[in-house]
Chain A
Amino acid sequence: MAEQGSQGKQLLSRHPSGVVFTIQNVVSTVNMDCKLDLKTIALLARNSEYNPKRFAAIIMRIREPKTTALMFASGQMVCTGAKSEQQSKLAARKFARIVQKLGFPAKFKDFKIQNMLSSCDVKFPIRLEGLSLSHGAFCSYEPEIFPGLIYRMRQSKMVLLIFASGKIILTGAKSEDDTHAAFENIYPVLTEFRKIQQWYVIVFSLQ
C-alpha cells in the first residue's frame, strides 16, 4: 500500500490525466553467459526448486525484492515478479550473484525488460459496446468468453484489458514510458464512452 502511494506521487507529475497506474509485474531476461549445472545449484541454493521431469529449469526465489527467477542450463535467466524496472534489475543481479557464489563464472549480459504489466482505475464506468463499435479494428469484445474488452494497440504492440467498472490492465510494455504513452492515448477514448452522471443522481446520492 505504502509502496503504491509513493509510486503514485512519483507518477502523478508525469501524468496529465490524473489517473495513476501501478506496475504489478515486470518480466526481464538476462544472459549469465556460462553453462550451469542445475543440480548443483538446486542442492546448494536455499530457495530453489528443480524438478527435471517437469521443467528443465531451476525456479529460484528471493525475498527482497520479492521475485522469482527461472535459470536454464544455458545460463539464460528470466526474472519475474518485480514491481519496477529498477527492482527487476536489482533482483536479476542478486540472482546472478547467488549463482556466482555457487562457483559459476556468471556475468550479467543483455539485461532486457520483456514485459511490464500495470493496472489502473479511471473511476468511471465505461460502455464497452460503444468502444467496440467505434474502435472495432483494435477491439475484441466477447462477453460470452471474457468480460473485458481487449484493446490491441497497433504501433506500440500493447494490449489493454478494459473493464466496465473502469479498471484497466495494460500489458506488453517494454518500458514505463510505453505504458504512459499507451494510457495517454487511450484515456480520451475512454472518456468518450464514460457514463454520464445525471445531476439529480448526485443530488439524491447526497441525500
Chain B
Amino acid sequence: MAADDEDESAEPRSIVPVVAPGPPPGIEKSTPSPLPAAVPADEGSAVVRSVVRRWRREHLLEKSGLILRALAWIFSLIAVAVLASNRRGGWMSFDHYQEYRYLLAVAVVALVYSTAQVLRQAHRLGTGKDLAPRQYSGIVDFAGDQVIAYLLISASSAAIPITDRMRQEVVNTFTDASVAAISMALLAFAALSLSALISGFEVSKRSSLGCHSHSFVRGLVHGRRSGGSSSAFLQVLAAIFLPPLTASCRRSHRKITQAKRVGLDAVQASAGWPSASDQILRVPEHRGCLKLLVPSMGWCSHCEDDCPTIRDPDKGYICCAICGKILDQDIYFTGPTFAKDSSGQSQFAGSIMHSVQSGYSASHERTLMKGRDEIRHIVDSLRVGGGDSIINKAHAFYQIAVDKNFTKGRRTSQVAAACLYIACRQTKKAYLLIDFSDYLQINVYVLGAVFLQLCKILSLLEHPIVQKLVDPSLFIHRFTERLLGRKNNAVSETALRIVARMKRDWMQTGRKPSGLCGAALYISAHSHGLKYSKTDVVSVVHVCEATLTKRLIEFENTESGSLTIEEFLARADELNAESEPDQLPKEGKVLCKHKDTEVPHFAHGLCRKCYDKFIKISGGLQGGAEPPAFQQAERQRMEKEEKEKKMRDSNLDNHHIYEKDKENGSAKIPDIGQAEGKTTNEPESAGSAEDKSLDSEQQDLDDAADDETENFSDIDDVEVDGYLHNEEEKELKKIIWEEMNKEYLEEQAAKEAAVAAAKEAYEANFADGSEDVLAAKELAEATAAALAKSRKERKKRRAEESKNAAPAQTPLEATRQMLKKKTFSSKVNYEALEALYTSEQDNGKKQKIETDDADPCNLHDNIENHEVDPGSMGDGDRPEAYEDHNFAEVSYDDYNAIGDEEYGYDEDFDFS
C-alpha cells in the first residue's frame, strides 16, 4: 500500500499508457487514497477528496490526449515511410496513382501536425505552460484533430478500392506495402479521432463553444455512419467506437449546462478585472520596474557624470546604475575615525550622534533594554526574518511607548509583542497577531487590545503602517513552509490562486486571514498529493478545526468549488492573460491617502494606485459569489418574509372565521391575539387597567411638557403598586437580603461604630468635659477592640494560657511548653523527646545502678563483647569506651525493667 501511495503521488508527472478514451479504468486506481486514514471523513475532507479526484481525472485526460497523439504520430510516420519507399519499378510505384499520392501527402500532413502537437503537449505537461494562447488552444486542438482525421479517412478510403482491385489481379510486396500504409493511416485516423473527442470534451467544458463542439462531435458520428465506405474494416471500426462516442456525446451534453456557467464567467473575466492572483504575480516585477524607472540622480566619479543611482535598502548601499560603482553606504561606526582634510591635517571624521537616552537614568535604560531583550526573544523564537533591523524598528516603537508611559500597568512582553507586530506590518513580514499571542500564551484579543491602544498612543491609527490592509496571500508562503517543513512553490502557487479566487468570491472580507490561508493550503496540499490532516493545518494556521471545515464548505459552495483543478488553474490563467481593459477614469474626488497630492481620481474615490491595491487585496467589486454572511442574511430575510406572509394569511383566515361566526350569531369568540398579549405583558398584580392606560400614557407623554417636576400623575399607580412589596414580602426579602449580604452588613456596622466613636471623641475633646472625654475614649477603645476582636481574642487566649501555666519544673517540661507554643507541635515525636531527656537525667543514677545491680545477662553480653574484641584489651583507651558503652546498655535496661518510678512522673504530666 505504501508503495502504491508513492506511485500515486509520483504519477502526475509520469506517463502511463492508457488506451481507453474518456475516463479510463485507471481512474479507479488513482483515486483510492487521496486522503490518509487519519483524516476524519467529514464534510470538509469530502469536499477536498472530490476536488482532488476531479483534478486527477483531469490530468489523466490530458495525458491520454498526449498518448493518442503520440500514437497518431507513430502510425503516420510508418505510413509515410512505407508508402514513400513503395517504388518497385514500372507500374509498381506509388507516384503513378493519384490515390497513393494523396494518401502520402495527407500522411505527411498528419505527421507534421502530430509532431507539433506532441511537442506542445509534452511541454505543457512538463512546465505547466502552454505555447499557444490558452483561450485558443482548445479550439486549435479540436479543429486540428478533426481536420487531420477527416483527411486521413478520406485518403485511406480513396486508396482502398484501387488497392482492392490490384490485389484481385496480383498479390506482391507492392500491394502488401500499400495495404500496410493504408491500415497505418486508418490507425492514425482512429487515434486522432479519439483525441479529437477528448479535446472536444475539453472545449465544451471550457467555454460556451461547448454547444458547437457538441454538434461537431455529433457531426463526426453522423459522418462516420453515412460516409462509411464499403470497407469492412471501417464498418468494424465504427461498430467498435460508436457506442463510446455517443456516450461521451451524451456526457458532453450534460457538461454543457455547467459549461455555460463557466463560459459566462469567462465573459465576465474578459469584460472585467484582472484576477487577484495576476496582481500578486506581477508585484515583484512592478516593484523592480519602479526602482529602475524612478532613480535618483547622483554624481558618479567613475562615469564622471550625473548618473541615475540605485539604492539597495537591504545591503545599505547606493550605486551607479550605469557602471555599478558603489557611491555611498549606510554604515555607522561606533569608534572615532579620522580623515585628512584639504590642508593635510588629520581631523575627526563624521559626527557624533547623541543618543536620546543619554539624558535618562540608568533605570530607564534598563527598562528599554528589557524591552529590547523581550523583542529579541520573540524574534528569535518565532524566527522572524530581518534580524537587527526589525528589532531596531520594534525597539524604536517600544521607546516611544515607554516615553508615553504606555508600559506602566502592562506586561513588558505584551507591549514588546505589539511593537514587533507593528514593525512586521510595516515591513510586510508574514506574521499575524495570533502568532505572537500564541508565543506569549495569552488571548489574541488581549494582545489585539494592547496593539490598538499602542497604535492610538503612537498616533498610528491613521498612519499607513496600520492603515495598510493585510493581504491574506502574504501568509501563504510561510504557512506552506511551516506545514511542509520546506519550501514548495507549486503548493504555494496553487494555494495563492485559491486564495485569489476566494477573494473574488467575497470569502475574505471581514474574515481572519488565517482561516482562508488554512483552507487554501489544505486543498492545495491535497491536490499535489501531499497528505496532511486538518489537524496539521490547524496547528500551523492557528484556527479551530470547525472554522477550517466551514471555510472549505464555503469554498465548495462557490462556483470554483465545482471546477476541477485544471479548470480552476485554467481560469486563473485566463484571468491572468486577459488584462483589465483600460477603464476610463471617472469623475470624482480623491479620498484615499493621496488626497492632498495631485493624483487624479480613478474610481470609487481612489486614485489609480490605491484602486489597483484595492483590487489586488479584495478581488474587486465585480462578480463572484455572494459573501457567506450575506447569503445567510438573505436566507433569514426570506424566511422572515415567508413567515410574515403566512401570518398575514392566517390572520386573514382568522378574521374571516371571526366575521363568519359573528354572522352566525355566536357572540363570544376568544380573541387569541389579544389574550396572548395580555398574558405576556402583564405583571402579576397589575390589572388589565394597565394595558389600557399604557396607550394613553404614550399619547399623553408629549403633552406633558413640564415633566421636570415631581408630578407623576400620568403614571398609573396601580401599575407602580404592582412593583412594590407588601409587608410580609418585605420581611421575607429582608431576611433573604440580610443573609446574602451578611458580611457587608457586619463590616458596615463596625465601620459606622468606629466612625461614630471617633467623632464623639473629637467632639468631647472640644467640650473638654473630663467625664465625657473618658467615656468617649472608652467607647472608642471598645469599638476599636471590637473591630480587632477576633484577632486579639486568639492572642489573648494564648497569652493567658502562658501566664496561667505553671513554670516548668524540668527541662523536658520546658521544652514541651515551648514546642506547644510553636506551630509545629503536632509534628514532634514526644516519645523520642522523653527518651532524650530521661537518658540525660538518669545519667547520674546510672553510675550507681551500674555498680550496684548489673543484669547478669547484660554482664554476659559484656563478657561476650569483651571476648570478641580481644585485641583491644591491651589498649589503654578501650576499657573506658567499653565502660561507656556498658552504661548506656545498662541504663536502657534499667529504664525498661526497673525505672517505673522515673516513668511515673511522665504520667503525671498533662500531655494536652
Contact = CB atoms under 8 A, between A and B. Distances in A.
Interface of A: 1, 39, 42-47, 50-53, 62-64, 86, 89-90, 93-94, 96-98, 100-102, 105-111, 121, 123-130, 132-137, 140-145, 147-149, 163-167, 192-196, 198, 200-201, 204
B511 A147 contact: yes
A134 B595 CA distance: 9
A50 B738 CA distance: 11
Nearest to A166: B630
A70 B643 CA distance: 38
27 contacts: A42-B733, A46-B729, A47-B723, A62-B723, A89-B707, A90-B697, A98-B723, A101-B717, A102-B724, A106-B710, A108-B712, A111-B707, A125-B506, A126-B509, A127-B614, A128-B509, A133-B614, A134-B591, A140-B452, A141-B469, A143-B470, A143-B510, A149-B510, A165-B630, A165-B632, A165-B633, A198-B622
Contact of A45 (B683, B710, B724, B744): B724
A127 B470 contact: no
Given A98-B723, A101-B721, A105-B710, A145 B509 contact: no
B694 A134 contact: no
A197 B701 CA distance: 47
Interface in B682-739: 682-683, 690, 694, 697-698, 701-702, 707-710, 712, 714-715, 717, 719-725, 729-730, 733-734, 737
B506 A195 contact: yes
A130 B610 CA distance: 9
Given A94-B720, A98-B724, A133-B592, A63 B683 contact: yes
A52 to B, nearest CB: 5
B617 interface: yes
B91 to A, nearest CB: 65
B710 A43 contact: no
Contacts, number: 201
A175 B605 CA distance: 30
B506 A129 contact: no
Contact of B633 (A90, A108, A167, A193): A167
Given A97-B715, A166-B633, A136 B724 contact: no
Contacts of A129: 469, 509, 614, 617-618
B510 A136 contact: no
Contacts of B510: 128, 143, 147-149, 163-165
Q: Which of A39, A51, A106, A142 has the most CB of B within 10 A?
A: A142
B369 interface: no
A166 B633 CA distance: 9
Interface in B459-498: 461-462, 467, 469-470
B864 interface: no
B261 interface: yes
A101 B720 contact: yes
A103 B347 CA distance: 91
B626 A136 contact: no
A101 B509 CA distance: 54
A44 B725 contact: yes
B613 A133 contact: yes
Given A143-B511, A145-B451, A196-B621, 4 more contacts: A93-B715, A132-B467, A132-B469, A144-B444
Report the contact-size class of chain B (Cβ under 8 Å from the partner).
Answer: 35 or more
B606 interface: yes
Contacts of A44: 724-725, 730
B124 interface: no
Nearest to A135: B591
Contacts of B268: 198, 200
Given A133-B613, A134-B605, A194 B621 contact: yes
A144 B433 contact: yes
Contacts of B737: 39, 42-43, 50
Interface in B739-763: 740-741, 743-744
A51 B741 contact: yes
Contacts of B646: none
A206 to B, nearest CB: 14
A145 to B, nearest CB: 4
A97 B697 contact: no
Given A63-B681, A108-B712, A163-B510, A145 B630 contact: no
Interface string B599-625: 000001110001001100110111110
Interface in B825-865: none
Nearest to B604: A192
A141 B433 CA distance: 14
B723 A45 contact: yes
B432 interface: yes
Contacts of A110: 708
A1 B83 CA distance: 87
A96 B710 CA distance: 9
Contacts of A196: 621-623
A46 B604 contact: no
